[in-house]
Chain A
Amino acid sequence: KQEVTQIPAALSVPEGENLVLNCSFTDSAIYNLQWFRQDPGKGLTSLLLIQSSQREQTSGRLNASLDKSSGRSTLYIAASQPGDSATYLCAVTLDRGSTLGRLYFGRGTQLTVWP
């Protein structure tokens, strides 16, 4: 069974800091890994999708890396802003069996960026 772990569970930083969120997974046979953002009481917003053949993806101030063989991904946020405050979730899709593309989620990192 795929287990996804996110560290840290919570993070509080001053505005302007660069920060790294970590995600690890136990089964490296993945199609892809996706990072999401969730604001309180809201649905998930897709931030970045990394295919298993890729090493990293970038979108604006966000950069996600993937080391499939070691079962790790990091989300790097540059020059953090108060508007970045949210819960960040990573999820993987397995490349095996009849899982039909289901996502396996970590519990998330709750980020607070204070002015």
Chain B
Amino acid sequence: DGGITQSPKYLFRKEGQNVTLSCEQNLNHDAMYWYRQDPGQGLRLIYYSQIVNDFQKGDIAEGYSVSREKKESFPLTVTSAQKNPTAFYLCASKVERNTEAFFGQGTRLTVV
């Protein structure tokens, strides 16, 4: 089945640690996105990528980094510079910019 797979479902980070969230899609979509969701707030864009080896900062990119080495993969690294990383992280993809967006099942990151 085609879709977007995010892993892990739950992730715990110690203070000062970097962690990487995985996002893989087999939909052959060009565009991929990372959003952060906090209780009572709308989804906020972290990073997005239109093609391989190219990506753009979103509204809240500080403390995060990404790579797009393969079309199907768009991993997000939450660095120690991100002071409040506890949130629900969602990955999305589109065929191209003006088409329907599809989302993964999310990763819940908690700082311990």
Contacts and interface: CB of A to CB of B under 8 A. Distances in A.
Interface of A: 4, 31-32, 34, 36, 41-46, 49, 89, 91, 93, 95, 98-103, 105-108
Nearest to B9: A41
A107 B35 CA distance: 13
A43 B31 contact: no
B108 A107 contact: no
Contacts of A43: 6, 90, 103-106
Q: Looking at chain B, what size class is its interface with the partner chain?
A: 20 to 34
Nearest to B104: A43
B98 A102 contact: no
Contacts of A91: 43, 101
A28 B99 CA distance: 17
A22 to B, nearest CB: 15
Contacts of A32: 98
Interface of B: 6, 31, 33, 35, 40-43, 45, 48, 50, 56, 58, 88, 90, 92, 94, 96-106, 108
Contacts of A93: 97-98, 101
B48 A102 contact: yes
Contacts of A95: 98
A18 to B, nearest CB: 26
Contact of A107 (B42, B88, B102, B106): B42
A49 B58 contact: no
A47 to B, nearest CB: 11
A105 B101 contact: no
Given A43-B103, A44-B90, A31 B98 contact: yes
Contacts of B50: 100-101
Given A41-B108, A42-B106, A43-B105, A102 B45 contact: yes
A27 B94 CA distance: 22
- Leading 3 A-B pairs by shortest Cβ distance: A101-B97, A31-B98, A44-B103
